[in-house]
């Protein structure tokens, strides 16, 4: 196991390139189960999560070849309908093979992801949508077994307690493209990653209307063909670099900066005194003067992303005044507070809200990464802090950020890996 050691307090400069989107890559790779024809997917990031999805595709019978960011997927035999616990349990996103397996094979046996129960952050919306298409469902022994004599289109409402679900929308879409008749998904997720999946499915021959809106209309087709497709860049990685530039007062150019997908973030940053400038496909960040505290609520897209909540909290931790950060998507997503407080931050939680009293500067400390986005928040906090920060359990970072320490080193960051 490794840790990151960061010497903070130094401004950064140069260009940093945003990789392909993890959250777009996972369902798009799963969608390759819908066809027997060759497929080529480009701009796939090299991450622990995408590696897990490729292993899962191989275990299901696909032949997978990877060259740099290009993945070629072929079918040379029968496809297995069982998605094994050993792979699905390590990554929640792999549960989205349920829809395409059921649509293509008319049966699927998929492990519940990562110790998940039908409760908080559940899979009940996935199962609700799949069942509405006419599938028979059983949950037994930690697996979901879905069978059908033929899926049929339906009018489905997929809204949940905390809004729409990206993964459930993807799962139901991929099942519905081969269903008989018309499917309408109400309260569908509007995230760019769902729009990207829609574009890929259309390129494979699917008939879908309403991409990027909460009402998606799908007319089932008998089969899909192969595809050559390039996925979008990662807006959350881009947003992390934007917040890093603001927090360290650095002159950074973010290549493929996803500006049009980050309007909620850039609007909030403008209120805080941070000017985010779009220059074609690139983004630059300038801090006009002193930072101002801003309160935010996370919402499903196009609202402020929950996946940037922890990184934004790190910025507010060194912004004079009081800001309130409310997460209405995942109200329990505040484990990073204790670690930021170890670095001197003054943050307390009250229910689904966190009250942040800004301080002049954070101080380096040993901290523990608890999840993917919390890890990123600790990295940018460490780069802005005075002194040395050690971040333990960095395998979380490798799930969603491609070569993050190498990219930061090229910007002049004093960051290195060490064995625990």
* pLDDT tens figures, 121-132: 578 999 999 999
Q: Domain 22-230 in CATH: superfamily?
A: Enolpyruvate transferase domain (3.65.10.10)
Read off the pLDDT of residues 79-105 as tens digits, 9 standing for 90 and up: 999 998 888 888 888 999 999 999 999
Active site residue 116: yes
2-19+233-419 and 22-230 have identical folds: yes
Cα–Cα dist 32/57, whole Å: 9
According to the 3-state scheme, what is the secondary structure of 210-247? CCCCCEEEEECCCCCCCCEEECCECHHHHHHHHHHHHH
pLDDT of residue 223: 98
What mean pLDDT comes out for the span 132-139?
96
Least confident range from 212-226, 278-292, 375-389: namely: 278-292
Read off the pLDDT of residues 209-251 as tens digits, 9 standing for 90 and up: 999 999 999 999 999 999 999 999 999 999 999 999 999 999 9
Read off the pLDDT of residues 337-353 as tens digits, 9 standing for 90 and up: 999 999 999 999 999 99
pLDDT of residue 67: 98
Cα–Cα dist 235/214, whole Å: 20
pLDDT at residue 413 greater than cutoff 60: yes
What mean pLDDT comes out for the span 159-187?
95
Question: Mean pLDDT in the chain?
Answer: 95
pLDDT at residue 61 greater than cutoff 70: yes
CA distances from 354 to 142, 269, 295, 368 (A): 35, 18, 10, 19
pTM score, whole prediction: 0.96
pLDDT at residue 361 greater than cutoff 90: yes
Over pLDDT 70: what percentage of the chain? 98
pLDDT at residue 115 greater than cutoff 80: no
Q: Where are the domains of the chain?
A: 2-19+233-419, 22-230
pLDDT band for position 72 (cuts 50, 70, 90): very high
pLDDT at residue 118 greater than cutoff 60: no
Question: From 3.40.50.720, 3.40.50.2000, 3.30.470.10, 3.65.10.10, which CATH number describes the 2-19+233-419 domain?
Answer: 3.65.10.10
- What is the DSSP-derived secondary structure letter of residue 364? -
What mean pLDDT comes out for the span 393-400?
90
pLDDT of residue 289: 84
For residue 32, the Cα-to-chain-centroid distance in whole angstroms is 19
Cα–Cα dist 141/39, whole Å: 34
DSSP lists the bridge partners of residue 109 as 82, 145
pLDDT at residue 288 greater than cutoff 50: yes
State the DSSP string of 146-207.
EE-S--B--EEE--BTTB--HHHHHHHHHHHTTSBSEEEEET----HHHHHHHHHHHHTT-E
pLDDT of residue 120: 46
Question: Virtual CA dihedral for 97, 98, 101, 106, nearest 10 degrees?
Answer: 180
Instruction: Exactly one of 116, 190, 200, 258 is catalytic; name it.
Output: 116
pLDDT band for position 114 (cuts 50, 70, 90): low
Contact call for residues 19 and 400 (beta carbons, < 8 A):
no
């Amino acid at each position: 196991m490794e840790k990151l050691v960061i010497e903070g307090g130094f401004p950064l400069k140069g260009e940093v390139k945003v990789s392909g989107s993890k959250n777009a890559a996972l369902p798009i790779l799963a969608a390759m189960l819908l066809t027997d024809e060759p497929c080529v997917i480009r701009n796939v990031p090299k991450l622990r999560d995408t590696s897990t999805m490729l292993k899962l595709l191989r275990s299901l019978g696909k032949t997978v070849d990877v060259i740099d960011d290009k993945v070629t997927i072929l079918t040379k035999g029968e496809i297995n309908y069982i998605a094994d616990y050993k792979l699905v349990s390590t990554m929640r996103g792999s549960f989205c093979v349920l829809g395409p397996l059921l649509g293509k094979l008319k049966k699927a046996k998929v492990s519940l992801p990562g110790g998940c129960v039908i409760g908080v952050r559940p899979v009940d919306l996935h199962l609700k949508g799949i069942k509405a298409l006419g599938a028979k469902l059983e949950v037994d022994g930690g697996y979901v077994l879905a069978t059908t004599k033929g899926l049929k289109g339906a009018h489905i409402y997929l809204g949940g307690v905390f809004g729409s679900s990206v993964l459930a929308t993807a799962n139901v879409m991929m099942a519905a493209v081969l269903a008989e008749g018309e499917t309408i998904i109400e309260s569908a997720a509007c995230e760019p990653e769902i729009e990207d999946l829609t574009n890929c499915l259309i390129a494979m021959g699917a008939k879908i209307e309403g991409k990027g809106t909460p009402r998606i209309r799908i007319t089932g087709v008998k089969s899909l063909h192969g595809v050559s497709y390039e996925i979008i860049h990662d807006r959350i990685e881009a947003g992390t670099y934007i917040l890093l530039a603001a927090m360290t007062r650095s002159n950074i150019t973010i290549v493929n900066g996803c500006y049009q997908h980050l309007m909620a973030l850039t609007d909030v940053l403008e209120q805080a005194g941070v000017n985010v400038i779009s220059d074609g496909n690139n983004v630059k960040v300038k801090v006009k003067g002193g930072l101002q505290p801003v309160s935010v609520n996370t919402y499903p897209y196009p609202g402020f992303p929950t996946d940037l909540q922890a990184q934004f909290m790190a910025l507010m931790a060194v912004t004079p005044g009081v800001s309130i950060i409310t997460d209405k998507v995942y109200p329990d997503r505040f484990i990073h507070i204790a670690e930021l407080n170890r670095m001197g931050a003054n943050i307390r939680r009250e229910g689904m809200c966190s009250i942040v009293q800004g301080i002049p500067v954070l101080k380096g400390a040993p901290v523990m990464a608890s999840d993917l986005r919390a890890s990123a928040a600790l990295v940018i906090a460490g780069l802005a802090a005075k002194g040395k920060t050690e971040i333990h359990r960095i395998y979380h970072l490798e799930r969603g950020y491609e070569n993050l320490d190498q990219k930061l080193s090229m910007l002049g960051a004093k960051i290195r890996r060490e064995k625990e």
